[in-house]
Amino acid sequence: MKLYNSLSRKIEEFKPLAPPKVSFYACGPTVYDYTHIGHLRTYTNDDVLRRTLSSVGFDLNYVMNITDVGHLTGDDDSGEDKLEKKAKGTKQTVWEVAKFYTDFFEKSIKALNILLPTTFIKATDHIEDMITLVKKLEEKGFAYVTKEAVYFDTTKFSSYGKLSGQKLDDKIQKSRDEIHIDSEKKHPADFALWFKKQGRFADHAMSWDSPWGEGFPGWHIECSAMSMKYLGETIDIHAGGIDHLPVHHENEIAQSEAATGKTFVHYWFHNDFLLVDGKKMSKSLNNFYTLEDIQKKGINPLALRLLYLQTHYRKQMNFTWESAQAANLALKNLRDQVIALKNQQDRTSLSEEKLAKNDEYKNKFYEALSNDLQTPQALAVVWEVLKSNIPSTDKLDLLYDFDQVLGLGLSEVKTEELPPHIFDLQKKINEARKQKDFELSDKLRKEIQDQGYKVEDTPTGTVVKK
Ligand code: AMP
Ligand code: ZN
């Protein structure tokens, strides 16, 4: 398995620390607003990576957090807590806001066949773990306290910026127009580990006791604390969208490695953006669509999954309704072909040549995925199998196997319960078409249609529907 590692900026051979075990951490959603289809692109690609690793024999522990506290508007500790801001604008409590959008997130990922994490945890359930980690950083001299907060001292961590390649000096320039500046903050790149319940945060609804007084954790510390708790101090894979790379992930590395003296993550897996009209789909630009928007347009959520798979995860992808409709048709076509295959019963004994052909398709499919997750090439193998002349049962076996990774629900496609005489006619049509007796197949087709059924031809056979 080869994977691009954002840290080395190279495609590397994937070698987990303790095979066959793989520790995988994915930054979860901040639950202050609807999950949109940009988020879903990232989580789908993470899911495909997870399923691919499982399919080639690894045993994954996949941890995802829910960010329900501490994520501020603005990347520089200057803004408001996103959940508190949302709650103020509604009649709900922060806890209700978190619950509502967590449920929406879960509903959305389920609709896209994204497997639930093995460990799915909330930041607010891990405040003690975060406090312990901040204390450790303080003891080791990597943190300092001001009237407003506890900060990580980036100048003390010599490799700060190694993930993004940014120098600390660049941060000085970028941070000049901060909205709120803590005058005691020593360096603009320093980031809050703990905010005190004072000043702009005096009314903060979520707060806990700590050695630095009542307050709440900064956003970055939660991922370090939870990753270490469930997966250990060094993990194999950490995933997220590309927007998290320069600040959030850089800070996660700094505070984790400063605390443990060990490498935090071996492989950094970053997804590029879903765009709309050339701009990043985001809550702040209000240019987003959700699962419900997709369903309202009559598009199967799994068609969205298929659409994502058509673009490599490290490329930007522009969303259009035309492309979503096209993916919907493609999915329907794929499912119809599965139905037609299921209706055919031509299990013939496999000759060695045919067996070799099956292996060739399988190898091609997994080679594409093992090459830094080339999903477009893997999909091309699906269509190739459908067009091939291998027996339909073998086609089905291959499709079901591929679908363990693709997650398009192909094994759940239901053939319609047809009355036996209609089912018989359908079988006869398939026979006639195989013999190229089109006169007979047309006659049989009319016979079925006259009884109120629809007959559709697909490249793999005839499908009859009510
Ligand atoms: P957030 O809730 O903002 O922390 O985002 C949850 C995940 O979705 C993160 O990994 C983000 O990087 C990712 N993400 C946000 N917007 C997009 C987008 N337009 N395209 C792809 N991934 C995104
Ligand atoms: Zn994170």
What is d(CA 310, CA 420) in angstroms, rounded to the nearest whole number? Answer: 39
Q: What is the predicted pLDDT for the residue at 89?
A: 85
Q: Whose CA is nearest to atom 15 of ligand 1?
A: 39
Q: Which residues pair with 191 in a beta bridge?
A: 152
Please identify, by atom number, the ligand 1 atom nearest to the C-alpha of residue 274. Answer: 20
Tokens of 104: 């929406």
pLDDT of residue 426: 86
Ligand with minimal distance to 33 CA: 1
- Residue having the nearest C-alpha atom to atom 14 of ligand 1: 39
The bound ligand whose nearest atom lies closest to the alpha carbon of 223 is: 2
Gap from CA of 353 to ligand 2 centroid (Å): 49
> Which ligand 1 atom minimizes the distance to the CA of 31?
2
Among residues 340, 285, 384, 288, the alpha carbon closest in space to that of 34 is found at 288
CA dist 445 and 464 (Å) reads 9
Q: How far is the CA of 146 from the centre of ligand 2 (A)?
A: 25
Q: Which of 373, 130, 366, 139 is nearest to 252 (CA)?
A: 130
Residue among 31, 39, 318 whose CB has most ligand 1 atoms within 8 A, to mutate: 39
Length of the chain: 466
Residue 410 CA to residue 79 CA, distance in Å, equals 46
pLDDT of residue 176: 45
Rounded Cα distance between 84 and 242, Å, is: 25
Radius of gyration of the chain (CA): 26
- How many Å lie between the centroid of ligand 1 and the Cα of residue 320? 18
Q: Which two tokens stand for residue 442?
A: 């047309």
Q: Which atom of ligand 1 is nearest to the CA of 28?
A: 6
Ligand 1, atom nearest to 280 Cα: 19
Amino acid type, 443: K
**Ligand that comes closest to the CA of residue 240:** 1
| Residue spans per domain, the chain | 2-271, 279-412, 420-465
**pTM for the structure as a whole:** 0.91
Ligand 1 centre to CA of 390 (Å) is 42
Topology classification of domain 279-412: Isoleucyl-tRNA Synthetase; Domain 1 (1.10.730)
Q: How many angstroms is it from 375 CA to the middle of ligand 2?
A: 25
> What is the number of the ligand 1 atom nearest to the C-alpha of 288?
19
Mutate to test the pocket of ligand 1, among 6, 44, 243, 249 (most ligand atoms within 8 A of CB): 243
Nearest CA to 287 out of 279, 295, 298, 299 is that of 279
**Ligand 1 surroundings by CB, under 6 angstroms:** 27, 29-30, 38-39, 41-42, 240-241, 243-244, 271, 273-274, 280-282
| Centroid of ligand 2 to alpha carbon of 275 (angstroms) | 22
Q: What is the atom index within ligand 1 of the atom nearest the CA of 272? A: 21
Residue 350 alpha carbon to ligand 2 centre in Å: 50
Nearest ligand to the CA of 256 is 2
**What is the per-residue DSSP string for 64-133?**
EEEB-S--BSSSSS-S-BHHHHHHHTSSS-HHHHHHHHHHHHHHHHHHTTPPPPSEEEEGGG-HHHHHHH
Q: What's the gap in Å between 411 CA and the centre of ligand 2?
A: 34
Distance 38 CA to ligand 1 centre (A): 6
Could you name the CATH architecture of 2-271? 3-Layer(aba) Sandwich (3.40)
pLDDT value of residue 351: 66
Q: Assign 320 to helix, strand or coil.
A: coil
pLDDT tens digits along 402-422: 999 999 999 888 877 678 788
pLDDT score at 237: 98
Q: Is the peptide bond before 20 cis (omega within 30 degrees of 0)?
A: yes
In a 3-state reduction of DSSP, which class is residue 264? coil
For the CA of 38, the nearest ligand: 1
Residue 30 CA, closest ligand 1 atom number? 2
CA of 39 to the centre of ligand 1 (A): 4
Residues of the chain whose pLDDT is less than 50?
Answer: 173, 175-178
